[in-house]
Amino acid sequence: MSKENILTSEHNDVRENFITHIIDEDLASGKHQSIHTRFPPEPNGYLHIGHAKSICLNFGIAEDYNGLCNLRFDDTNPVKEDVEYIDSIKQDVEWLGFKWEGQPHYASDYFDQLYTYAIELIKKGLAYVDELSPEKMREYRGTLTEPGKNSPYRDRSVEENLALFEKMKNGEFAEGTASLRAKIDMASPFMVMRDPVIYRIKFASHHQTGDKWCIYPMYDFTHCISDAIERITHSLCTLEFQDNRRLYDWVLENISIERPLPHQYEFSRLNLEGTLTSKRKLLKLVEDKIVDGWDDPRMPTISGLRRRGYTPASLREFARRIGVTKQDNVVEYSALEACIRDDLNTNAPRAMAVINPVKVVIENFEGEEILSAPNHPNREELGRRELAFTRELYIDEADFREEANKQFKRLVLGKEVRLRNAYVIKAERVEKDTSGKITTIFCSYDPETLGKNPSDGRKVKGVIHWVSATNNKPAEFRIYDRLFTVPNPGAEEDINSVINPNSLTIKQGFVESNLANAQVGQGYQFEREGYYCLDSKDGNADHLVFNLTVSLKESVAF
Ligand code: ATP
Ligand code: MG
C-alpha cells in the first residue's frame, strides 16, 4: 500500500490518541515506511481484560495502518511459566479476531543472540560479573533518596568477566551467587540504571529450551533486543515501564544491532472497578479455589468473559471506547457491561425462560397449540420460532401476587395479564401446600386475545413471560453477581475478606424447547430476565446450563 494510503487510513480499531499521532508523524517524516508492533505477554497466567486493551491497541494499530503485529511470548522466567498459558494466550488473541504475523515468537528464540550481546557488553567494559549476595546487592543499590555504592566486583577486567560469565553459563556457580550486571551508574536518579542485573542463574528447565541454559536474561535486557531483532517500530507498554525506557535505549545503543532502533512508548494501564487486573492476584483466586478456574465466568480474564457470554466485538468496542491515554484512571464496570448489552440487544435472539417456576393451569384450555413468535422484536430477518401453548404452564413466582396495588403490572388474583407472544389469562384461584406456599395458580384464558386486545375494550396492562410445563427443556441458571464487595479489591490486604458470598446463585427452571439447540457462543435474551449463554463447560443438549451474561438494565454500582 502506498504511503498516501497509509496516512489516510482510518482509525477503525483504535481511536485517535497520542500514539497514533506519533505514528502519523513518523510516517509523514519518513522515519518509518511501515508500522510493526508486538504484543508481548509473559506466559505466567491467563490474559485478563487489561491485556485485551493492549491486544486491541497493538493489533488494532497494525490493522489500521496496514502494518504487522507479532505475538511474542516474553518467556525469561521458566519457573512461573507454563505451556498451558501459552495455549490459552494464543486462543484468546485469535478469539478476539486478531492475526499475528507469521509464527508466534518467543524471547527464548533469541537466547543465543542475547548471550552474544551480553559478551559484547562485557568486551566493551559495560558489563561485569558480580558476586555480591542478593541481600548485599539490595543494600548497595541505595534508595530513591540516597545513591548506591559500587560493588567491590565492579572493576574486574574484561578477561576475568568473560571467564566468570562462561562459568556462570556452564553451571559452575550456585543460584544467587553470581549475576551479570550492566555497568551504568550506581548514583543514577533512576533505580533501573543502577547497574541492573541482566543475567541470573536459575537451574530450571525451560518450556521451550529445556535444560540448555542455566542462566536466563532479565526482562529489561531481553525485551528491547527482541523488539530490535523483530524490527518492531513502536514498542507499546504500560506506564510502569517509563523509567525502564532509559535502560531499553541504553542496551540498544551499546550493542551492534541493526538500526533504526525501536522506540518504546507508554500508555496507562486499564484498571476496572471491582476487579483485579494482575495475573498474580488472579492466580491466587484460582489456587485458593475462590473461583472455579481461570475461566470462571466471574473472572475478568478473557476466557472468563468468553464463558460468561461476552463477544469479541463487545471487548473490542470496549477497548475502542476507553481509548488510550497517559492518565491513570479506573474505568467503571458498567462501561464494560454497556458494550456487551449493546451488542446483545441488537444481535441476541429472544427466548423465554422461567427461572423460579410456579405452575399455572389454564382450566378452559385442552391440548396444545403451536404459536409463532419473532426471534427479535425489530429484526425480522432473524426469523420466527414456534412456541407450545399448553394447559399447564410455568410463570415466574415473582410475577404473581394474591393482592397488589396498581403498580404491580403482572398477574394478580382475580385480574388479567398478557402472556408474551400468547393470550390474556385471568387468575381465578390458587392452591397452596401445608406451609402456605402457592403450588398452582388456576387461570382461564381469553381465546380472542392472540395478538390482539380484548374486543370489549378491557385494558390489560402487564405482559409476563412463560414456558409450557409439558413441552419445555429443564435448565440450570447460573446467576452471577460481582465477585468482590469493594470497588478496589486489589488494594485489600486480605482478599478473602471482600469476596461477595452471593457472587453465584444457581437456579433450576425451564426454557422453551427450541433452546435444546442452544449453541455455545450464541447469546440469548431471556425476556424480562437478562442476557444468557450456554455454559461452554457444563452445558449441553442433555443438560442445559445457562450463564447470566449481563442484566437487561444497568445495575447499581458500589
Ligand atoms: P500482570 O501484572 O497482570 O501480570 P503484566 O504486565 O505483567 O500484567 P504481561 O504478560 O507482561 O503482563 O503483559 C503483556 C502486555 O500487556 C504488556 O505490554 C503489558 O504492558 C500489557 N498489560 C498488562 N496489563 C495491562 C492493563 N491492565 N492494561 C493495559 N495493558 C496491560
Ligand atoms: Mg509482566
**Residue 380: is its pLDDT beyond 60?**
yes
DSSP notation for 65-128? TT-EEEEEE----TTT--HHHHHHHHHHHHHTT---SSSPEEGGGGHHHHHHHHHHHHHTT-EE
**Residue 259: is its pLDDT beyond 80?**
yes
Cell of residue 505, nine digits: 446463585
Helix boundaries (H) for 357-471? none
Which residue's alpha carbon is nearest to atom 8 within ligand 1?
278
Q: What is the pLDDT of residues 188-237, one digit of tens each?
A: 999 999 999 999 999 999 999 999 999 999 999 999 999 999 999 999 99
Which residue's alpha carbon is nearest to atom 22 within ligand 1?
51
Residue with cell 447460573: 478
Q: Is there an atom of ligand 1 within 6 Å of 238 CB?
A: yes
Whether the CB-CB separation of 64 and 14 falls below 8 Å is answered with yes
Strands 504-512 and 353-354, sheet pairing = antiparallel
Q: What percent of the chain has pLDDT over 70?
A: 98
DSSP notation for 388-401? EEESEEEEEGGGEE
- How many residues would you count in the chain? 558
pLDDT given at position 10:
57
Which residue's alpha carbon is nearest to atom 3 within ligand 1?
278
Strands 350-351 and 368-374, sheet pairing = unpaired
Ligand closest to the CA atom of residue 272: 1
**Residue 242: is its pLDDT beyond 90?**
yes
pLDDT given at position 6:
42
**Residue 4 banded pLDDT, cuts 50, 70, 90:** very low
Cα–Cα distances in Å, from 454 out to 235, 300, 410, 448, 460? 67, 49, 17, 7, 8
Q: What is the pLDDT of residues 298-330, one digit of tens each?
A: 999 999 999 999 999 999 999 999 999 999 999
pLDDT given at position 1:
36
Strands 467-468 and 530-534, sheet pairing = unpaired
Residues ≥6 apart with Cβ < 8 Å to 184 = 126, 193, 194, 195, 196, 247, 250
Pocket test residue of 46, 49, 51 for ligand 1, highest count of atoms within 8 A of CB = 51
Ligand closest to the CA atom of residue 73: 1
Q: Is there an atom of ligand 1 within 6 Å of 284 CB?
A: no
Whole-number Å distance, alpha carbon 74 to ligand 2 midpoint, is: 8
Rounded to whole angstroms, how far apart are CA atoms 27 and 441? 72
What's the rounded mean pLDDT across residues 95-110? 98
Whether the CB-CB separation of 385 and 372 falls below 8 Å is answered with yes
Buried b (16+ CB within 10 A) or exposed e, 193-203: bbbbbbbbbbe
CB-based burial of residue 304 (10 Å sphere; 0-12 exposed, 13-18 middle, 19+ buried)?
Answer: buried
Q: Is there an atom of ligand 1 within 6 Å of 270 CB?
A: yes
Whole-number Å distance, alpha carbon 42 to ligand 2 midpoint, is: 6
Which residue's alpha carbon is nearest to atom 25 within ligand 1?
50
DSSP notation for 487-556? S-GGG-S-GGGGB-TTSEEEEEEEEEGGGGG--TT-EEEETTTEEEEE-TTT-BTTBEEEEEEE-SSPPP
Q: What is the pLDDT of residues 476-508, one digit of tens each?
A: 999 999 999 999 999 999 999 999 999 999 999
Residue with cell 409439558: 470
Whole-number Å distance, alpha carbon 50 to ligand 1 midpoint, is: 7
Whole-number Å distance, alpha carbon 81 to ligand 2 midpoint, is: 11
What's the rounded mean pLDDT across residues 168-186? 98
pLDDT given at position 555:
80
Residues ≥6 apart with Cβ < 8 Å to 10 = 64
Strands 438-446 and 368-374, sheet pairing = unpaired
Cα–Cα distances in Å, from 544 out to 387, 535, 536? 18, 8, 10
- DSSP three-state, residue 199: strand
What's the rounded mean pLDDT across residues 34-58? 98
Whole-number Å distance, alpha carbon 223 to ligand 1 midpoint, is: 14
**Residue 3: is its pLDDT beyond 90?**
no
Phi/psi for 79 (5° steps) reads -65, -35
Q: Which residues are catalytic?
A: 42, 269, 279
Whether the CB-CB separation of 324 and 269 falls below 8 Å is answered with no
Whole-number Å distance, alpha carbon 224 to ligand 2 midpoint, is: 14
Residue with cell 544491532: 257
Q: Is there an atom of ligand 1 within 6 Å of 300 CB?
A: no
Q: What is the pLDDT of residues 21-44, one digit of tens each?
A: 999 999 999 999 999 999 999 999
Q: Is there an atom of ligand 1 within 6 Å of 40 CB?
A: yes
Phi/psi for 385 (5° steps) reads -140, 165
Rounded to whole angstroms, how far apart are CA atoms 418 and 411? 9
DSSP notation for 232-283? -SEEEEEGGGTTHHHHHHHHHHTS--PSSPPEEEEEPPPEETTS---HHHHH
Residue with cell 446483545: 344
What's the rounded mean pLDDT across residues 532-550? 96
Q: Is there an atom of ligand 1 within 6 Å of 278 CB?
A: yes
Whether the CB-CB separation of 424 and 449 falls below 8 Å is answered with yes
Rounded to whole angstroms, how far apart are CA atoms 67 and 54? 16
Cell of residue 171, nine digits: 553451571
pLDDT given at position 11:
66
Which residue's alpha carbon is nearest to atom 4 within ligand 1?
279
Cell of residue 354, nine digits: 422461567
Q: Is there an atom of ligand 1 within 6 Å of 277 CB?
A: yes
Helix 219-229 to helix 244-253 angle, to the nearest 10 degrees?
60
Whether the CB-CB separation of 55 and 98 falls below 8 Å is answered with yes
Residues ≥6 apart with Cβ < 8 Å to 107 = 40, 72, 73, 74, 75, 76, 217, 222, 223, 226
